Amino acid sequence: MTATLNSILATSARVYLPAWGVWYAEVDLDGEHTLTGAATVEIADLTLQGTVLSGGPENGRSHYRVVGGKGGWGQTIAAKGYANDAGVKASTVLLDAADACGETILASTLPTTRPGPSWARPEARARAVLELLAPRGWYVGEDGITRIGARAASELPAGVTHGPVDHARGCVELASESIATILPGVVVDGLTAVDVLHEATPAGLRSTVHGDRGGSSRALDAFRAIVDQLDPDRAFRGQSEYRVTSRSGDRVGLEPVRVSTGMPELTRVVARPGLPGCKGGAAVGSRVLVAFADSSPARPYVCAYEDADGSGFVPTTLVLDASSSIKLGADATKGVARDGDDVCLGYFCADSTTNTIYRSPPELGPLLTVYLPWWKVTAVADVQWCTATNPATPTVPPPPGTPGTALMGIINEASGLVKCE
């Protein structure tokens, strides 16, 4: 099995293909590679055309998140109004939205409907237009082109082995070296794929298909309806995996990693990471866990981030704050030096008789000075910065406590990653 990103060999890759919406890929590369713009992801015989969404080189490796197409459907586009007495064409609205965000819609899939004599496009993410005119009825294909309509159903290719279908959870694992036709819409023993995950690791290639949970029958449908009436918030009791699609300050826009879960898209969600005084900026395209306070759909929050092996483990920013102190280590007592802070190199006295400069260590401070010979010079008068003189007999160091000239400097080189007040 091989996987590549722009022809660079990958150490691991994960591709998420939904029945509707945009596909994503997470790719790890060996070595530091800087990639931007158009991206081609290849896993076995599956080729995907997308755009680098986030990521970069770090510590001898590279992590990238790639989004299908041009990455435009997640961008915010301006509001626009339409009017036509004969009816505004849905195709016109869709094509305008695609042009505004840089995406391409396959013309042969455009609808011929006219939603009405006027239409108001809201200022929102471009994909909102797709959801308004074709809810759950559009997707970005493997070639990066957007299509309106449902994915075609297909049968599982011969020769693909799979385990038993878990109809209760709606999933099944497949093993095949050919995955180009294992896409949403494929049917595996009665389970129609809604989400397909392809994972390429050093251990091999694995595909997981997710479909509707629990199967269907008249009795089951009736029972579900009863449960939904008795417990309408049960879908919001656990934690759900989401993907960050946008950021606005400390809030993020999210969409479910697997559309088969039925969870809604979320906007302007806050984070509650469980550590007081801490907040981080998860990279666009990274995965997070979302919970709902008191199981209320009105109170979503990000409760956790990717694990240490995930490509989104390292945030773009991390803020730690405290009203009293922040300790790095249980017994930490020393402060942290900052870029631009003053630095004292010691306290100095000059002896013009012996042409000696005496120094007291800076940690003793200006009142508890203890001097030792430090520098033998040709002429003390040439050391103009040292204005304090030795009050003692020549050849004898200044007495302890003698005021000296403080030699000062500033820190002018510091970490570009860690910042403090």
Dig out the tokens for 313 from the structure. Answer: 């483990």
Phi/psi for 96 (5° steps) reads -65, -40
Indicate whether 72 pLDDT > 60: yes
pLDDT value of residue 149: 97
Does residue 406 fall inside a structural domain? yes
Does residue 365 fall inside a structural domain? yes
**DSSP H or E run through 271:** strand 266-271
CB 130 within 8 A of CB 149: no
**What CATH code is carried by the domain that includes residue 290?**
2.40.50.230
- Least confident stretch, 135-149, 199-213, 220-234, 248-262: 220-234
Instruction: State how far the alpha carbon of 416 is from the alpha carbons of 313, 407, 412, 420, in Å.
Output: 19, 27, 12, 11
pLDDT value of residue 215: 57
Does residue 392 fall inside a structural domain? yes
The domain boundary residue, chosen from 260, 289, 320: 320
- Least confident stretch, 47-61, 361-375, 388-402, 405-419: 405-419
CA–CA separation, 287 and 254 (whole Å): 9
DSSP assignments along 313-365, one per residue: -S-SEEEE--SS---SSTT--SPPP-TT-EEEEEEEEEETTTTEEEEE-GGGT
Instruction: State how far the alpha carbon of 36 is from the alpha carbons of 16, 66, 70, 196, 393, in Å.
Output: 20, 10, 12, 26, 71
**Mean pLDDT along residues 347-356:** 94
Residue 195's nearest CA partner among 261, 246, 276, 282 is 261
**Mean pLDDT along residues 141-162:** 94
For residues 224 and 314, state if they share a domain: yes
Task: Give the number of other CB atoms < 10 A from CB of residue 212.
Answer: 13
Q: How many domains is the chain built from?
A: 3
DSSP assignments along 99-157, one per residue: HHHT--B-GGG------EEEEEE-SEETHHHHHHHSTT-EEE-TTS-EEESPPPPEEPP
Q: Given the structure tokens 């801490």, which residue do they identify?
A: 278
- Least confident stretch, 82-86, 88-92, 221-225, 283-287: 221-225
CA–CA separation, 407 and 310 (whole Å): 49
Does residue 421 fall inside a structural domain? no
Phi/psi for 138 (5° steps) reads -155, 155
pLDDT value of residue 414: 84
What does the pLDDT look like over 102-116, one tens digit per residue?
A: 999 999 999 999 999
pLDDT value of residue 315: 86
Does residue 11 fall inside a structural domain? no
The mean predicted confidence, pLDDT, of the chain is 92
Does residue 174 fall inside a structural domain? no
Q: Given the structure tokens 């009203």, which residue do they identify?
A: 323
Does residue 233 fall inside a structural domain? yes
The domain boundary residue, chosen from 108, 128, 148: 148
pLDDT value of residue 216: 60
More confident residue, 255 or 333: 255
For residues 310 and 398, state if they share a domain: no
Label residue 1 by pLDDT band (50, 70, 90). Answer: low
For residues 316 and 222, state if they share a domain: yes
pLDDT value of residue 274: 85
Q: How far is CA 26 from the centre of its chain?
A: 11
CA–CA separation, 222 and 228 (whole Å): 10
Indicate whether 31 pLDDT > 90: yes
The answer to whether the Cα torsion of 303, 308, 309, 311 is positive or negative is positive
Please report, rounded to a whole number, the percentage of residues in the chain having pLDDT higher than 90.
76
For residues 301 and 226, state if they share a domain: yes
Q: Exposed (0-12), middle (13-18) or buried (19+): which is 98, by Cβ within 10 Å?
A: buried
CA–CA separation, 292 and 236 (whole Å): 6
Does residue 1 fall inside a structural domain? no
Phi/psi for 212 (5° steps) reads -70, 140
- Residue 292's DSSP bridge partners are 300
Instruction: State how far the alpha carbon of 178 is from the alpha carbons of 1, 16, 136, 141, 400, in Å.
Output: 10, 16, 28, 18, 82
Label residue 324 by pLDDT band (50, 70, 90). Answer: confident
Label residue 128 by pLDDT band (50, 70, 90). Answer: very high
Indicate whether 416 pLDDT > 80: no
The answer to whether the Cα torsion of 370, 375, 380, 381 is positive or negative is negative
- Least confident stretch, 111-115, 210-214, 250-254, 345-349: 210-214
CB 286 within 8 A of CB 304: no
Give the residue numbers spanning the domain of 392.
342-410
The domain boundary residue, chosen from 148, 174, 198: 148
- Residue 10's DSSP bridge partners are 29
For residues 315 and 347, state if they share a domain: no
